[in-house]
Amino acid sequence: MTPPLVAVAHGSRDPRSAATVRALVDVVRAQAPGLEVHESFLDLSEPRVTEVLRGLYAKGHRSAVVVPLLLGSAFHARIDLPALVDEVTDCCPGFRIRVSDVLGANPALEAVALDRLAGARHRRGTGVLLTAVGSSNPEANAVVANLAARWEERLGLPVSEAFASAAQPDVPAAAARLRARGVRHLVVASWFLAPGLLPDRIAALARAADPGVFLAAPLADDPRVADVVIGRYAAAVSGLLRTAHLV
């Protein structure tokens, strides 16, 4: 039996977030016909990942692949999700669950984020804020900072990372950093999968810094995002099969 794909997002009190995740999972289903695909959430939205996994076990599945719909490998990927998977395997004997890598700074996702900037006006004195959630894990923040550095070289514009929470620089500090480099017009790039409270906070702060700011949309349900999800699943299935052969 082919292991089902369980896509797990963080979850949000903002219904737009869960709706976007469900739309993305619909694209995954369309691009992987015949594969059983489920959406799930770590918290705040339904269904929870533990509920989905237990339901699959009850239906007779003895393996599953969980794909974290996360752009960084921070607390939720390193601590929260493994603990929830362990909770399920502890009560479901013989159930093998493989967790794939996070989506991460994949080139296809970079391309989507850059394409979202296409509607911005080309003006002298423009700088880009590459906005992300932020983490207490310096390595996760460094991925975004390195991404900003690559974009600066590629775009030929000043680019600064800016975080919504838990890390610096925040949006006001990053905007000030760009102003010091001669930037007069801000463009906000979104390193988020879905709309929600944190992207809204970023938008409000960016408008305070520049009322004419251009705000790019999140990555959302672009088919290239779905391709990355499927790729993460395929790599994890290979690992699951290798492990099965060793048992």
Architecture of domain 117-215: 3-Layer(aba) Sandwich (3.40)
pLDDT in tens, 182-212: 999 999 999 999 999 999 999 999 999 999 9
Assessment of whether the complete model's pTM goes beyond 0.75: yes
**Mean pLDDT, all residues of the chain:** 95
| Whether pLDDT at 171 is above 80 | yes
Does the 5-104+221-246 domain belong in CATH 3.40.50.800?
no
Using pLDDT thresholds of 50, 70 and 90, give the confidence band for residue 247: very low
Closest CA to 206 of 142, 163, 147: 163
Provide the pLDDT for residue 231.
98
Domain locations in the chain as residue ranges: 5-104+221-246, 117-215
Strand extents, DSSP E, the chain: 5-9, 37-41, 63-68, 96-99, 126-132, 159-163, 185-190, 214-215
* Nearest-angstrom CA–CA distance, 53 and 59: 10
Mean pLDDT of 7-21: 97
Which two structure tokens, joined as six digits, stand for 245? Answer: 């052969």
Report the percentage of the chain scoring pLDDT > 70.
Answer: 98
* Nearest-angstrom CA–CA distance, 145 and 187: 16
* Nearest-angstrom CA–CA distance, 39 and 35: 13
DSSP string, 22-50: HHHHHHHHHHSTT--EEEEESSSSSSBHH
Domain 117-215 in the same topology as domain 5-104+221-246:
yes
Mean pLDDT of 170-176: 98
CB 24 within 8 A of CB 220: yes
Closest CA to 68 of 197, 202, 236, 218: 236
| Whether pLDDT at 165 is above 80 | yes
